Structure 1
């Protein structure tokens, strides 16, 4: 077994510094323009409960945002420095109070984090919630830890994915403690392979991903994909090459706040994901045109556009606008992996090979269309 795919020793080495920076908002003051920013190695919800229990009762806090990183002590210090002009100058815990909304503080902190090279956001809550993951034989004794109890059952699956696609280093983890999805991407800037598990349903999804990005080799390949398909659609040809009834396509509109995304009502372009077999020429043109609207025409459609979005939890209307935010299109195409936790390596590899074979023509299609020169817009 290739146990190099997941570097448990490296994960273990980060445990002393890894943890959460939390942003608390008052729950008993409507539209309050202040927040509390602190850090915790453990569950931020539990820490918030401790703070409320020890408070005088004038303010009751709720967790609004959490950033989990590999050096939460330094990140908290940098966030406090960033927001120093807004900081309450009182004594005691009041020093963690800042006179701006939690959402604004989080957006500014996320933007700062996106510029840092020595602090990384991670999907690992450290220390882990009581359950240790299976040890890698070559890890030197370190144990990987996962986000929630039960996640460790899927580690052999992730190893199989990295092994069958020859993903160097095991890929890049994604998923946070509030998100039902967690998994790995190959980390490529541009068209990506990814593997994800839905904790709520147990579904295992092998995916192809392409989103708006100017990083590395990304160069806003989704712009080329959208314009190429609008000009000369090839979706019917790819449908003829695959089992289109087992492949689902989602075009989404991501709304950004710094390095993080809002959960918005308008996220799913076309209102929902679509089976590839159900996408006809008219529907394909409609969702591509909507996706084009998430790109900035003043910058050759190679940048985030400005847009008004509706926050899912509150119904609040917000303007997402560059340079701190904006909207951008995001293409995801996935198929289910017919596997279960507990299967041995041979069975997992066979199931993974079947899913990869089913989706590889789609990966090649997106890669080809996404690299076409889009010319004048």
Structure 2
């Protein structure tokens, strides 16, 4: 290989199964031959097929750039990414168009390759929902991590209603969530109902029930109508959290401007019921909940539940991405400090 090798950046998809996962790599040979090698050497992974390949004058550098840009969606220590192959292809093309050093080649010759510029495999199964993916999403998540100076921890998947990145801390977290269908972005402060260090969600709820401090903090905010509180009821099925009709504690999200002292106490008491009183509220409780089924036949079950608090605000990017994220984090810093102190 030369210092600047011509070749292919390829995108592999799982053969015959529609999954929102792909593999992105590079080769100076035929991508189909490289795919066969990967399948032969695989030890329990998926059987892959070539979905797309792009011929460029520096495939090594393009692979590095793509992996860097899509790092928020990358599975740890692997070349797997949590998005479908077609969305990955759109992201790669967007990345190429946003720079000038790497060029797409009309055709590329080598001993083991055929002449192809872009190869795309058609699938027979069209049940997978098609959604457009922009490389700007990956850049946004990367900017969030850079502003906070963290590596970050991704959550959700692109084919779900939302996905995003947290700062990776156990307990109170900064996070950014992207909602493609609604076309909006949230920056928030988050505390899940997990054990972490001695059930911090329990300490926060019990502290606020006795001496509520959040209403006083709300009075100091410049725009409480632009900040929202969502107290979730998470139902647990082993390690997953299926959707339930009773997901909102208090019945819905609330703007902080409408959160009266009486309403806050009511929400706190309902959240506390999601924890086990016999264990000093340091364990999940069990409740009857209604699981939402795709066929419309919802199912009532007794499941373990726990409370989950998020206070968030929409992110409007009106300047540099990093500056917009930094300004929104500054707006929510007093909420973050309160949540840290109470938990």
- TMscore range, shorter length: 0.5 to 0.7
Match of residue 3 from structure 1: none
Match of residue 124 from structure 1: 82
Whole-angstrom distance in 1 between the partners of 2:321 and 2:77: 34
Please point out which of 223, 235, 240 is paired with 2:202: 223
Do structure 1's residue 184 and structure 2's residue 165 form an aligned pair? yes
Mapping for residues 3-82 of structure 1, pairs under 5 Å: 42-44=17-19, 74=44
Say if 1:41 and 1:300 are closer, same or farther in 2 by CA, change over 3 A: farther
Please point out which of 206, 224, 240 is paired with 1:244: 224
Kept in 2: contact 1:253–1:328 (CA 8 A): yes
Whole-angstrom distance in 1 between the partners of 2:147 and 2:18: 35
Secondary structure of the 2:232 match is strand
Whole-angstrom distance in 1 between the partners of 2:202 and 2:81: 29
Kept in 2: contact 1:41–1:127 (CA 8 A): no
Q: CA deviation at 1:73?
A: 7.1
Please point out which of 344, 348, 356 is paired with 2:329: 356
Kept in 2: contact 1:204–1:339 (CA 8 A): no
Match of residue 334 from structure 1: 312
TM-score normalised per structure 2: 0.64
Q: CA deviation at 1:241?
A: 2.5
Q: CA deviation at 1:125?
A: 3.3
Do structure 1's residue 290 and structure 2's residue 270 form an aligned pair? yes
Deviations 1:200-234 (A, max 9, x none): 1211100110011124xx43100000000000000
Match of residue 199 from structure 1: 180
Match of residue 65 from structure 1: none
Q: CA deviation at 1:176?
A: 2.5
Structure with greater Cα Rg: 2
Whole-angstrom distance in 2 between the partners of 1:248 and 1:73: 46
Q: CA deviation at 1:75?
A: 8.0
Whole-angstrom distance in 2 between the partners of 1:75 and 1:232: 53
What residue ranges of structure 1 are gaps of 5+ in the alignment?
A: 1-11, 20-39, 46-71, 77-117, 142-146, 321-325, 341-345, 371-377
Please point out which of 228, 236, 240 is paired with 1:256: 236
Say if 1:201 and 1:297 are closer, same or farther in 2 by CA, change over 3 A: same
What residue ranges of structure 2 are gaps of 5+ in the alignment?
A: 1-8, 21-41, 47-75, 103-129
Kept in 1: contact 2:91–2:133 (CA 8 A): no
Say if 1:230 and 1:298 are closer, same or farther in 2 by CA, change over 3 A: same
Please point out which of 182, 191, 213 is paired with 1:210: 191
- What is the alpha-carbon root mean square deviation over aligned residues? 3.1
